[in-house]
Structure 1
Amino acid sequence: MAKIVLNKENYFHNLKIISEQAGSKDKIAVVLKDNAYGHGLVEIASMAKEFGIKNAVVRTCEEAKKIETFFEQILILADTTFHTYSHSFHIVVNSLEQLEKVPENTNVHLKIDTGMHRNGISIETLEEAIHGTLRKNLNLTGVMTHFRSADILSCEFFWQKENFKRAKNITVNTCEKLFLPIPKFHSANSSALFRFKNYQEDLARVGIAQYGYLESDSIFDNPDLKPVMSLWAQRISSRKITKGQRVGYGGIFTAKEDMDVSTYDVGYGDGFLRLNGKKRYTTPKGYEILGRVSMDNCSINSKDEKVCIFDDVRQLAEIHDTITYEITTTLNPNIEKEII
């Protein structure tokens, strides 16, 4: 059976670097949405807890329930079904309309649109939103934003930082007038965290960096992170083919000599994005995936019982003209996970 292997040593290596950059492991909120970027929600949560991480970020309440016992605080980014939440759950509110739908006594983080123009309350209506949390008897526990260009060399990062600074000032002034506790402030994703020289915010929402990747431009002094995930496949069958015989759908691969070929139980049905045979892909051990990847299997010039399909997805991301996130999150969540 296909298997995803998670390297705990590499994961802890990444968290150590991230914690040092943030100033403390208490400031780290590990982003575990979408099955922990394909790595396994519960598996990654258990390792994060073991390391000493107290905060997590997920997409939905259902995800939060699965890891409720692992963390002191869980931030829920995009749930639209509102009901009574656990005291450890904190709901992100993206609009004044959404604010009206959240049940009383819910912990909320107001998301501010500082320039990404995707989700969030405008700075101009921030004071109104804070008043709304008081009127609705909500617990304002956080104010946040998200950078649109932290991974590229651009002045937009600094422009958004200034906009969020303005939002912080409005929040502090308004809360003091209303005798409300000052909420936690956070803006940094993985790329943004490593753009700060002296990180002073209360939390950093770290996603892809904890898994060993960073999509930031190479011009930055990026950290030495280590990929956590490797994908392994089990041999189904083997055969010898002769020079000139072709393999798989369309016969895209033609053998240049007599060779051994085996079929392995990983395909695009498992979320291993389809290789069409036009670009060469070799496994970490130097084997080649031959021709087109099928739905449930692929052909490789190996007779090994098990083959590591990848232990670093950057080559695949380049082949597919995408980002590392897409390669990992596409993997079928039902693939068996093992922590080593």
Structure 2
Amino acid sequence: MSRILLNKDNLFYNLELISKKATSKDKVAVVLKDNAYGHGIIEVAKLSKEFGIKKAVVKSVEDAKKIKDYFPYILILAPNDFNNYSHTFHIALNTLENIEKIPQNSNVHIKIDTGMHRNGIAIDDIEEAILGLSKRKVNITGVFTHHKGADELSTSFFFQKELFSKAKYKVKEVCEKLFLPIPAFHSCNSSALFREKNFEELNEDFARVGIATYGYLEDDLPFDFPKLKPVMSLWASKMATRELKKAQSVGYGGKFTANENMIVSTYDIGYGDGFLRLNENHNYTTPKGFRVLGRVSMDNLSINSDEKEVCLFDDVRELAKIHNTITYEITCSLKESIKREIV
């Protein structure tokens, strides 16, 4: 049976580097959306709690309920209903239109659009948002934004930082005028956190760290990013073995043809499980040096091995290059039905 192994030591190594950069564990919110980037939301929640992380970020209320016993503080980025919430849940306000839907006494983080133009309210609408939420007796517990290009060499990172500074000033001004508590501020994702020379000087309350938790950051740019350790490895079990004769082909379209007699086995994972279909024009070699032969099928693939179990990857960067995508997409594509194990 195929399985995903999660390396506890590597996760703790990454969280230690992240916590030091953020100045403490209390200033780290681990992002667990989309099944913890494919790693397993329950498994990563348990380990994060064991490490000492107290804040988590998820996409939905359903996900927040899954991990409510592991964290005293959970931010929900895209709430899809507006019923009563646990006192430990904090929901994102992504548009002024949702103010009237939020139940009394809810904890709310106002999202500010500083240039991504996806979700969030304009800086000019901050006072209207705070007044509207106050009238509904909602607790404004946070204000945040999201960087669109912290992992790129562009001016957008500095432009958004400046806009969020203006937003923070405006929020403080309005809250003081209305005798409201100053909410928590947060803007840094993984790349933004490590681009900051001194997180303490940013004067924010925590960072939302996603992909760095799992061992990846863009490392081909001239930033002083640390070398993180990938947490996930993917393993497949053998289904059948045969000798492929010289000139015989294997798989759909016969895209791999043997140059000599060779041992070939099929293994129990395919694109139906989220291991993306390889372009036969690219060679992919497993960490142990085996080759994936021809096309990946829906439920299995072929490898020049007869081992009972094969590690398909322990670092997804090479696969991301082959698929012309990002590491996130490779890990997030893996289905929840694959068993996750902590090692």
Question: Is the shorter-chain TM-score for this pair beyond 0.5, marking a shared fold?
Answer: yes
1:224 is the counterpart of 2:233: no
Amino acid at match of 1:287: F
What CA deviation, in whole Å up to 9, does each residue of 1:164-212 have, x standing for no partner?
A: 0000000111101111100000000001001111113101000000000
SS across alignment from 1:100: helix
**Matched residues, number:** 340
Structure 1 CA distance, aligned partners of 2:241 and 2:138? 62
Aligned to 1:8: 8
What CA deviation, in whole Å up to 9, does each residue of 1:128-170 have, x standing for no partner?
A: 1011111111000000000111111111111110100000000
Structure 2 CA distance, aligned partners of 1:154 and 1:95? 27
Give unpaired runs (5+ residues) of structure 1.
Answer: none
Structure 1 CA distance, aligned partners of 2:196 and 2:294? 45
Matched ranges for 1:67-216 at <5 A = 67-199=67-199, 200-215=203-218
Is the CA contact (8 Å cut-off) linking 1:150 and 1:216 kept in structure 2? no
Matched ranges for 1:277-288 at <5 A = 277-288=280-291
Shift of residue 216 of structure 1?
5.7
Is the CA contact (8 Å cut-off) linking 2:195 and 2:225 kept in structure 1? no
Give unpaired runs (5+ residues) of structure 2.
Answer: none
Aligned to 2:19: 19
Structure 2 CA distance, aligned partners of 1:276 and 1:244? 21
Amino acid at match of 2:95: S
Structure 2 CA distance, aligned partners of 1:6 and 1:14? 13
Alignment RMSD: 0.7
Aligned to 2:38: 38
1:249 is the counterpart of 2:252: yes
Report the identity percentage. 64
TM-score when normalising by structure 1: 0.99
Shift of residue 328 of structure 1?
0.3
Structure 2 CA distance, aligned partners of 1:204 and 1:139? 21
SS across alignment from 1:70: coil
Shift of residue 241 of structure 1?
1.1
Structure 1 CA distance, aligned partners of 2:77 and 2:55? 13
- Runs of 4+ in structure 1 deviating by more than 6 angstroms, as ranges, are none
Structure 2 CA distance, aligned partners of 1:88 and 1:322? 35
TM-score when normalising by structure 2: 0.98
Q: Decide whether aligned partners of structure 1 residues 2 and 21 sit closer, same or farther in structure 2, where only a CA change above 3 A counts.
A: same
Aligned to 2:274: 271
Aligned to 1:333: 336
Which of these residues, 322, 327, 342, is aligned with residue 324 of structure 1?
Answer: 327
Structure 2 CA distance, aligned partners of 1:223 and 1:103? 42
Is the CA contact (8 Å cut-off) linking 2:58 and 2:76 kept in structure 1? yes
Structure 1 CA distance, aligned partners of 2:34 and 2:146? 18
